[in-house]
Amino acid sequence: MAYIKKRKSGLWTVEIRKQFQKPIYKSFVSKATASAWAKDIETKLHKYEYEDYSDSKRLKLKDLIIRYRDEITPNKKGYKEETYKLNYLIRHEISKHNLLELQSSHIYKLKTELKNNGKAPATINKYIHYIHTVWETAKLEWSLSLPPKNPVALVKRETVYDKIERILTEQEYKDLVSASKLSKLDMLSDLIQFAYLTAMRFGEITKLTLEDISFEKKIAILIDTKNGEDREVPLSDKAIEICRRNRFGGKLFNIDRDNFKNHFNNACRKAGIENFRFHDLRACSITNLFLNGWSIAEVSTISGHKTWSELKKYTRLKPIQLLDKLNQAQA
């Protein structure tokens, strides 16, 4: 029921009460405006269409991101990377906006700024996706009343080209290994070769401990990989040799990604190799397996891919590379 009362200030205050809901208050200059608003709200309450944004009015995007970072992110595998990106958003101008004034134009401005700063399309999409996820989490899990339209919904994502064409020639690989042996990071050469031999991701390699290696069976056991499953990877004699000489406090390669990245990039520059990431060594390894006649099932056992659609982008097979096999089949 609505109660309208004139204050000493001359304003007309509306108080609407309904069982099991907190009271709704709002002030107006005229009684007619107050009455019209009260009638509209009572109708919405009757139809269960009313949304109380009083809590949202007091919050900024920054408040939601901080809560998400502190409550949700620590439970994720990639919590370090996510925390870094969320902290960037917290410091950014976009986080100063009140939740009810946040518009798609603000998201688009952020997107444009990231693009002008040289961020990759996939990275730009991640930042935008974080805002979308934080907003939806606040609505669905924290029961915060927010406008029905997520401000990110109308912003077009950047196009990401997943197919990677960059693989090393045999000579480039030799040059990279030679350059890595000159690095101040002693383990760099072994780490590069191990990735090239096993098709493992950086995170998988740096998590390996001596207990994860069966030197007798020549098997590495990867625990809780990117797809959430454990897998066993056979190790060649060269890979086993690397495992035997790399033992850093129980880990095969005890180094964080940021520290490693600088040393790896320096080695690439010394080797004259451009546009190449450490993750591309995994692709080089997978490509080599296909070129050596391995089946999809055999390669997926090494790489951990579950479907051909996931594995296909890493093959880099060219028609000219299949000529010898084609001629042999038709001889």
For 60-99, write each residue's pLDDT tens digit.
999 999 999 999 999 887 788 899 999 999 999 999 999 8
C-beta separation of 308 from 315 below 8 A? no
The dihedral over CA atoms of 48, 49, 55, 60, expressed in degrees to the nearest 10, equals: 150
Strands of the sheet containing 231-234, edge to edge, are 213-214, 219-222, 231-234
pTM above 0.85, yes or no: no
Lowest mean pLDDT among 73-87, 120-134, 189-203, 317-331: 317-331
pLDDT of the residue at 312? 73
pLDDT of the residue at 240? 92
Average of per-residue pLDDT across 157-175? 81
How many residues in the chain? Answer: 331
pLDDT, mean over the chain: 84
> Given a cut of 80, is residue 277 above it in pLDDT?
yes
C-beta separation of 51 from 139 below 8 A? no
Query: With b meaning 16 or more CB within 10 Å and e meaning fewer, what string describes 58-97?
Result: ebbbbbbbbbbbeebbeeeeeeeebeebbeebeebebbee
- Going from the C-alpha of 2 to that of each of 20, 25, 38, 202, the distances in angstroms are 15, 10, 6, 63
Farthest-apart Cα atoms in the chain, separation: 102
Q: What six digits make up the tokens of 114? A: 């990231």
Average of per-residue pLDDT across 239-266? 85
C-beta separation of 271 from 176 below 8 A? yes
